[in-house]
Amino acid sequence: MSRPDVVVCGAGVAGLAAACALGRLGQRVLVLEKQSVPAPVAKGEVLQPGSLAILDEWGVTERLEAAGAMRLSRLVARDSDGSPRMVLDYSRLPAAQPWLLAHDYQAILDALTDALPPGVEVRRGVRVREPLRSGGRVTGVRCDDGDIPAALLVAADGVSSRLRTAAGLSAERHDYPHRLAAFELHDVDEIEPDFSAYVADDGLRLHYPLPGRRVRLYVQVAPDELRGVGQDGLGAWADRVLDGCAGLAPLAAAFRAGLARRQVLPVSRSMANTLVAPGIALVGESGHSVHPMAAQGMNSAIADAHGLATMVRQGGTLAAGVLDHALRRYDEARRADLAHIGRTSHNAARMITTQSWAGRRALSGTGANDRIRHEVMHTMSGLGVRKLTPLDRLHQIGLVPDPRATRLPSWVRPAEAREPAR
């Protein structure tokens, strides 16, 4: 591709989604990725209904289902013994695909790659140095092997985005005081098709099924809790985790067998001061990030790609003035939603990862309030933001009774409409 219309930097979910969305507009898109081979990482494996609606348009959902993706019917916050405290029943959503879909991160990347239009090219092993500039706008990128001009540069290079910094944009980052140890458990039978988060005395435990009788398990840990721990120490640590969360008992043998395959992941949240500058747009974690327990990061990136392509399509051309107007509209629309999603995700994380009185009361209050629970589910599903009022917050923690607590929103589907999980 000698002269692309769009250069996308980063071939993760955000970058491939942006390439797919913009390529479907007829734009010539070049994707540059510094890694020659994708690194295995335990993240981004659960897709929300709002994302599935977008991916269905691109032919990605069908590819994932054919590859054995798992349908998860509920998102459940549980006590340490496994008792449900808050249940989000996705079958009640007004969606064509009212469920979560889980598969390996690499399988999701493969499905997106297979769905790329003919006008998209992916080059791996390419190091991008900096944006090209002319007249106060970004006009392409400089790589190790030369300059590549383009009308639009899409930065999808992650939470520590060099392109974001080089373009003069910033993203305030807040690190959580804990990390997540991720485990892939094998040969697991008879686990409910749920996304389950346990409220244990020493933090979050979260799991969901993956294809092939596997389960992804996350355990909240202190930053240095597993540093330098030997095999014997790991066994004693696993015993403490299981003793503190009886709900994990069915996974005990698989958990102990999978200790050596752990990954310890840092956890943070961030939001860019703006997602755009003349000639450049941020998508995915280059522009924003949230706590992974809310299952929003990858889904927000897909919504970014769809929203960016929508504004570019409405502009009708990549001429500088028209494109920059489209970028400003993308920024205005997305940051409003992302700010609310970020707050919702942060509040959900605090409910489960901390021992605060307000967090625990809010979790129980949300679980007992049909109206608020369904509004929260609608926002988390990616089908549209449903904002809670300050009064709703008081209802959540039980300081003010809610006379509307049993009134379901008009969009809620009948309980008997549940689709079978796979």
Q: What is the pLDDT of residues 135-169, one digit of tens each?
A: 999 999 999 889 999 999 999 999 999 999 999 99
* Residue among 220, 190, 153, 165 at smallest CA distance from 354: 220
pLDDT (0 to 100) of residue 418 = 56
Distance between CA atoms of residues 362 and 366, nearest Å: 6
Q: Where are the beta strands (DSSP E) in 258-308?
A: 263-272, 276-277, 280-282, 288-289
pLDDT (0 to 100) of residue 422 = 56
Buried b (16+ CB within 10 A) or exposed e, 387-399: ebeeebbebbbee
* Residue among 179, 264, 265 at smallest CA distance from 229: 264
Mean pLDDT along residues 57-65: 97
CB atoms within 10 A of CB 34: 15
As assigned by CATH, the class of the 175-267 domain is: alpha beta
pLDDT of 45 > 90? The answer is: yes
96-126 per-position pLDDT tens digit: 999 999 999 999 999 999 999 999 999 999 9
Distance between CA atoms of residues 111 and 109, nearest Å: 5
pLDDT of 420 > 50? The answer is: no
Sequence ranges of the chain with CATH classification 3.50.50.60? 6-71+100-173+269-344
Distance between CA atoms of residues 422 and 403, nearest Å: 38
pLDDT (0 to 100) of residue 232 = 86
Distance between CA atoms of residues 359 and 380, nearest Å: 18
pLDDT (0 to 100) of residue 386 = 92
Q: How far is CA 260 from CA 16, 86, 177, 230, in A?
A: 31, 32, 24, 10
DSSP code, position 38: P
212 with 222: CB under 8 angstroms?
A: no
pLDDT bucket at 419, cuts 50 / 70 / 90: low
391 with 357: CB under 8 angstroms?
A: no
Distance between CA atoms of residues 202 and 244, nearest Å: 8
274-302 per-position pLDDT tens digit: 999 999 999 999 999 999 888 899 999 99
pLDDT (0 to 100) of residue 191 = 85
pLDDT (0 to 100) of residue 295 = 87
Identify the bridge partners of residue 268 per DSSP, sorted by sequence position. 175
Sequence ranges of the chain with CATH classification 3.30.9.30? 175-267
Architecture in CATH of 6-71+100-173+269-344: 3-Layer(bba) Sandwich (3.50)
Q: What is the DSSP string of 119-155?
A: TEEEEES--EEEEEEETTEEEEEEETTEEEE-SEEEE
Distance between CA atoms of residues 268 and 248, nearest Å: 26
* Residue among 273, 309, 335 at smallest CA distance from 8: 309
pLDDT (0 to 100) of residue 231 = 84
Q: How far is CA 233 from CA 181, 228, 242, in A?
A: 15, 9, 14
pLDDT of 358 > 90? The answer is: no
Q: DSSP 3-state assignment of 36?
A: coil
pLDDT of 333 > 80? The answer is: yes
Radius of gyration, alpha carbons of the chain: 22
* Residue among 242, 184, 256 at smallest CA distance from 213: 184
Mean pLDDT of the chain: 93
pLDDT (0 to 100) of residue 44 = 85
pLDDT (0 to 100) of residue 39 = 78
